[in-house]
Amino acid sequence: MAIMSSKVMLSELIFFDTTSSKSNMNLINYVEDYLLSFGIKSQIIKDPHEEKANLHAIIGPEDISGILLSGHTDVVPVKGQNWSTDPFQMTEKDGKLYGRGSCDMKGFIACVLAKVPEFVNADLKEPIHLAFSYDEETGCTGVHSLVDVVRDLTVKPRACIVGEPTSMKVVNSHKGIRHLLTKVYGHENHSSTDRGVNAISYAAEIIGFIDNMQEEMRSRPALVEGFDPPYATVHAGRIQGGVAANITPNYCEIEWDYRPIPGTDEDEVFNRYEEFINEIILPKMRMKSEKFGDIKTDYLAKVPCLFPETGSEAEVLVKHLAEQNSTHVVSYGTEAGIFHQKGGVPAVVCGPGSILQAHKADEYVEISELEACDKFLDRLLDIVKK
């Protein structure tokens, strides 16, 4: 394949509709072929249905610790958004590149792939690992098999750089994510009899408990500086149940999440929720009917916090590459916490684009941000080559 600039590469990547509900295999196959054209073999880690895949590749010596560059290939949906351009056709205007994923986070992947020819042609003293994942946008669910591969390497990378959009600022800490689905099972009956077990009513009590926890979190003193908001958030985002006004609903479900702050008890909210269910809600339901009434809660995603490690090898490296002396924290979650806690690789987040442009219509990344990322990778090349 021809050598491409990061801007041209980004245009190539945006063309692939890798919405999380769809397969990312076309993009992964494209990247695999691209790397192979420079003599780099990839390890493809498919999901159980073989419809999606992670990709891991190593450029340079494999018996030496190196640097891992990580990015997710999936994007959020465009359905229901009022785009002024084709979201899967990159459009350049006024120094900005528009398209779904331009900011979150194909911009970083484009910069990394555009730099591959230079990585290959350099005499590297330590390797560059490429790690591209799927289903980050649905709760970082796809990256785990990729992290397992990295964890089990004979020689693991000494640092991981996750290129989420941070406006090229160095982020060494972020909140975690707990994404849950609560299913409330009642018993239907004619509404006039008052003999049913109303699943919606009990779900409403659960949502009230969730809201009360959020109020409590707001009142707590800030434990870590820099987070916006400076407290853990607890939020019910979706409720669904019932059939008709004259039928006592026998089922209702609540989709909710909370975002714990690093250094706090990440399971506090769930543990208190379970106590409330077991000691308050279930006894009330079973007083109404011992035969009917149950509540089940499942984790849809569980993303660990990224703990700050001041002075860590990863932080020192990325501050040097970004030419910055300060670090920042963010409230959104990334795969960095998983690489760090599960994979045993110190991780820092730094990438082109602003999170304020992510997930919305007319998503864009500024060309200047890609150029800053290109220079960031140039400095990385200077470090890893002989």
> Which positions are catalytic?
74, 136
Nearest partner of 303 among 271, 273, 340, 268, judged by Cα? 340
Q: Give the rounded distance of the alpha carbon of 36 from its chain centre.
A: 28
Cβ(190)–Cβ(248) under 8 Å? yes
Cβ(258)–Cβ(233) under 8 Å? yes
Q: Which of the 8 DSSP states describes residue 112?
A: H
Instruction: Please give the Cα distance from 331 to 353 (Å, whole number).
Output: 16
Q: Which residues contact 228 (CB under 8 A, 6 or more apart)?
A: 331
Q: Which residues contact 247 (CB under 8 A, 6 or more apart)?
A: 188, 189, 190, 191
Q: Which of the 8 DSSP states describes residue 19?
A: B
Instruction: Please give the Cα distance from 236 to 257 (Å, whole number).
Output: 7
**Three-class secondary structure of residue 322 per DSSP:** helix
Instruction: Please give the Cα distance from 200 to 365 (Å, whole number).
Output: 43
Could you give the angle at which helices 367-384 and 313-322 cross, rounded to 10 degrees? 120
* Cross-strand pairs, 240: 253
What is the C-alpha radius of gyration for the chain, rounded to an integer number of angstroms? 23
Give the end-to-end CA distance of the chain in Å, rounded to a whole number.
26
Nearest partner of 361 among 65, 56, 76, 14, judged by Cα? 76
Nearest partner of 58 among 116, 129, 123, judged by Cα? 129
What are the b/e assignments for 202-213, b being 16+ CB within 10 Å? bbeebeebbeeb
